[in-house]
Every structure is written in structure tokens, then in C-alpha cells.
Amino acid sequence: MEIYEQGLPELSGWMLFSNDEDDPTRPDIDDALSALVRLSGRCNGRIVILPAVCSDPVDRGRHYAQKLLLLGAGLVEVLHVEARSHANDENAVALVTQATGILMIGDQCNQLTTLLAGTELLQAIQRRQSEGCVVAATNAASSLLWRPADVPL
């Protein structure tokens, strides 16, 4: 597992980690999640988990939420997005807008792109990242978050 914490100036607020199997039960995933909790404000933080296009998103979201709480996160909320209409929902956007940390989980890059690209939710996530909110992503989800520094939101 590799962890990158705000390593590039144009990516401040990012924390990307590679987890080949996207398996939240792997022991080394705790290091990445601990960094997310710390960078999100620990007990004062508000982390939103977005388990989209992954195997058993309800269970995956619950498992990551429990881990984050055990590691000291203040508030953890799981946002389930199953359709593009959900990704344009004002309540989903509001939840992300209030977050100090966001964890995106996903297995299938093409399906994630189809689900989230160009939506209000993805734009809100990118906007929060540019404002300093920590955005963490595993595997395929990380590909949605990168954009050149000179591309406006």
C-alpha cells in the first residue's frame, strides 16, 4: 500500500492510496484511514464515505465507517449514490459541502465515470478539495478526482 498525503502542490487536500483489492479488512488499510482521520480534523472532523460501484456498497460503507470511528473520527456519514440522479441531488451535495474529509471507494473506473462525471456531486467534491478538504480515494475512484491545476472547477 502506498499513501500520498498532499504530496503535490496542485493536489493539496488529496490523499490517494492504492489498495489492489479494495479490501477494507486488510491490516495496512488502517494506516491510510488513520491519516484520513488526522487530516480531516480527528474528533472535530466530518467524513463522508461514498461507496459507489463497488461490491456490496452498503456493507463496504458500514465497514469503513466503523473503522474510521474506531480510529477517532468525530462524525462519519455514508452517502449511497446508485444513479446519476442521486449524484445531482441537493442533499447529497450539501452533505459533501459540509465535509472535512471525503472517502471515495470504487472498483470500476468506467462505471464510476458514467455515474459521477459532470454531476453536481463530483463538482462539489472537487470544489471542497480545492478549499482544503481532504479527499481520499482508492483505486478507480482516484481517477475521477485528478484534474490539472489550471483547469477551473
Q: Is residue 60 domain-resident?
A: yes
Percent pLDDT > 90 in the chain is 41
Q: Is residue 75 domain-resident?
A: yes
Q: Is residue 132 domain-resident?
A: yes
Q: Is residue 152 domain-resident?
A: no
One DSSP character per residue, 35-100 reads HHHHHTTGGG-EEEEEE-SSSSHHHHHHHHHHHHHHTT-SEEEE----STTGGG-HHHHHHHHT-S
pLDDT digits over 11-64, tens only?
A: 346 565 655 445 556 666 788 889 899 999 999 999 999 998 777 889 989 999
Q: Is residue 150 domain-resident?
A: no
Q: Is residue 102 domain-resident?
A: yes
Q: Is residue 153 domain-resident?
A: no
Counted domains in the chain: 1
State residue 4's pLDDT score.
Answer: 39
CATH number at residue 25: 3.40.50.880
Q: Which domain holds residue 87?
A: 2-145
Q: Would you say residue 8 has pLDDT above 70?
A: no
Q: Is residue 151 domain-resident?
A: no
